[in-house]
Amino acid sequence: MDVESPRKSRRQGRLRPLVTALVIACAGCSTYIGTTPRSFLRHAKSNPDPNLRYIAYARLGESERYDDDEEKSEAIRTLVTKLEEGREPMATRMVIIRSLGRLGDPRARNAVAKVVNNANAEPMLRVEAYRALGRVGSSEDAMTLVRIMNTDQLEDCRIAAIEGIAALKSRDPRIYDVLIEGMENEDPAIRLQSYRALKYITEKDPGNRPEDWRRALKPELQQAAKPAVAAGNAPAQSPGPR
């Protein structure tokens, strides 16, 4: 024991600087980013670690963390700027769009709409943008999402567009008609999501058969058809006397 103790002491003495250096290095790599919007904003704006920026962007989408509108406004401006710059990795841009949607502020509408209308955007970005547009857009954006619902080649994108339509809660009878048609789609996922959207928008539930919905919404659907009939099939007027 007497012989080993000095050796052990010397080994421990040599290890202490190494342990100290490792502790300092780990402290510099800490994933702690605080608990307030102010700290999240700081990391989102200037942290060189993309993983920590990702976490910060996600936390900025939590509305309950904001104490006042000024903080929330700064967060929205930052998220919009970062999205429009397009410098973040795709996964990070996805979470930025998701946070803008969760905050539900119309000031994010134009930035989100740019992604929605960009046919070359990555599919997963479009999925997030279609959902977010339902939260930050206006009732007029519902027809944009209807077009996407009927034309996008990817099922996930079509379903996200229907989710966006539901979130907008437009009472336009044309939307009802499109969603009833969606209930007849050959894709069961589209049928289910269309049914859910109709229930959410109308706050009714006549069942999962399209004919029952047409019966329940007949007055609205007839009202939607009247302008088209009036414009397209109005009888020609005879010219007046010359």
Q: Provide the CATH number for the domain around residue 54.
A: 1.25.10.10
Query: What whole-number distance in Å separates Cα of residue 43 and Cα of residue 221?
Result: 51
The answer to the question of residue 2 being in a domain is no
Q: Is residue 88 part of a domain?
A: yes
List the pLDDT tens digit at each of the 242 positions of the chain.
444 454 544 545 554 544 444 433 333 445 678 889 999 999 999 999 999 999 999 999 999 999 999 999 999 999 999 999 999 999 999 999 999 999 999 999 999 999 999 989 999 999 999 999 999 999 899 999 999 999 999 999 999 999 999 999 999 999 999 999 999 999 999 999 999 999 999 999 999 999 999 999 999 898 776 654 444 454 444 444 43
Question: Phi then psi for 236, rounded to 5 degrees?
Answer: -70, 140
Residue 59 lies in a domain: yes
Residues spanned by the domain of 103:
33-137
The span from the CA of 198 to the CA of 177, in Å, is 10
Please give the biggest Cα pair distance in the chain.
Answer: 129
Is 44 part of any domain?
yes
**DSSP class of 198:** H
Tell me, rounded to whole angstroms, the distance of Cα 227 from its chain centroid: 34
- Indicate whether 11 belongs to any domain: no
The 10 Å Cβ neighbour count of residue 98 is 19
Q: How many residues does the chain have?
A: 242
Number of folded domains in the chain? 1
Q: What is the residue-wise DSSP string for 91-160? A: HHHHHHHHHHHHHT-GGGHHHHHHHHT-TTS-HHHHHHHHHHHHHHS-TTHHHHHHHHHHH-S-HHHHHH
* Planar angle of CA 227, 231, 236, nearest 5 degrees: 140
